[in-house]
Chains A and B, each alone.
Chain A
Amino acid sequence: AQSVTQLGSHVSVSEGALVLLRCNYSSSVPPYLFWYVQYPNQGLQLLLKYTSAATLVKGINGFEAEFKKSETSFHLTKPSAHMSDAAEYFCAVRAGDTPLVFGKGTRLSVIA
């Protein structure tokens, strides 16, 4: 069975600072990995996904993530935080023909 661990339930950064949200996964087969964002009182929106092509994946709103098999990680980064990035972020893994398994989420706060 696959699982996801998101390190840090809450991350706070200053506007313009680097955003780093950590995600580690466990899977017995090559995984597909996803990052979703949830703005207050809304559903989940896909930020980016890794599907075994390039290990560095670029997504919407300037976010990117790097798949590192040796570290079983898929950390999400953005060079410069914007106030509009404040939201909850979820990492998810899919191994084979199974539903997505989500991490518990990381709430990102951006301080002016």
Chain B
Amino acid sequence: NAGVTQTPKFRVLKTGQSMTLLCAQDMNHEYMYWYRQDPGMGLRLIHYSVGEGTTAKGEVPDGYNVSRLKKQNFLLGLESAAPSQTSVYFCASSTYRVAYEQYFGPGTRLTVT
């Protein structure tokens, strides 16, 4: 099993450009999440999904959109990138059972200039 994979690993964008980050999991997990990690801020939840075709806002959703068209994939989109979105983005997945942990991908380092 590959677990949780993220594409791409690194990306540099100019202000105003758009991009999509792809997360894929092969563990048949129902729930998927997008977090951003900034120095001294820990991980903050952007959006999450409890199943195919459903999404919900997290703590810091502004400037991002998501889609979950297939159970195994969760896409994070930036329509008009801003320097404040420079961060490391982590995708995670989990089962619906609350006692179970979230599994994380390796991260995508995004720089917006």
Interface residues of A (CB under 8 A from B): 9, 32, 34, 36, 41-46, 49, 51-52, 90, 94, 96-97, 99-105
Contact indicator B107/A43 (Cβ below 8 Å) = yes
Residue from the list A45, A94, A99, A102 in contact with B42, Cβ < 8 A = A102
Residue from the list A34, A44, A46, A103 in contact with B90, Cβ < 8 A = A44
Closest beta carbon of chain B to A65's beta carbon, Å: 14
Q: Give the 7 A-B CB pairs with smallest separation, nearest first.
A: A104-B42, A51-B99, A43-B104, A44-B104, A102-B43, A102-B42, A43-B106
| Interface SS, A side | loop
Interface residues of B in 72-113 (CB under 8 A from A): 90, 92, 96, 98-99, 101-107
Interface residues of B in 56-81 (CB under 8 A from A): 58
Closest beta carbon of chain B to A29's beta carbon, Å: 10
Residue from the list A100, A104, A105 in contact with B102, Cβ < 8 A = A100
CA distance A74 to B57 in the complex (A): 28
Contact indicator B48/A99 (Cβ below 8 Å) = yes
Contacts A49-B101, A97-B96; is A90 near B42 (CB within 8 Å)? yes
Most buried by B among A34, A99, A101, A102: A99
Residue from the list A42, A45, A90, A97 in contact with B98, Cβ < 8 A = A97
List, in ascending order, chain B residues with CB within 8 A of A104's CB: 40-42
CA distance A100 to B34 in the complex (A): 11
Interface residues of B (CB under 8 A from A): 4, 31, 33, 35, 40-45, 48, 58, 90, 92, 96, 98-99, 101-107
List, in ascending order, chain B residues with CB within 8 A of A46's CB: 101, 103
List, in ascending order, chain B residues with CB within 8 A of A51's CB: 99
Closest beta carbon of chain B to A3's beta carbon, Å: 11
For B38, give the chain A residue with the smallest CB separation: A104
List, in ascending order, chain B residues with CB within 8 A of A36's CB: 104
List, in ascending order, chain B residues with CB within 8 A of A32's CB: 98-99
List, in ascending order, chain A residues with CB within 8 A of B96's CB: 97
- Sample of 14 more A-B contacts, CB < 8 Å, known A41-B107, A43-B107, A90-B42: A9-B40, A32-B99, A43-B90, A43-B104, A45-B104, A46-B101, A49-B99, A52-B99, A94-B98, A97-B96, A99-B48, A100-B33, A100-B92, A100-B102
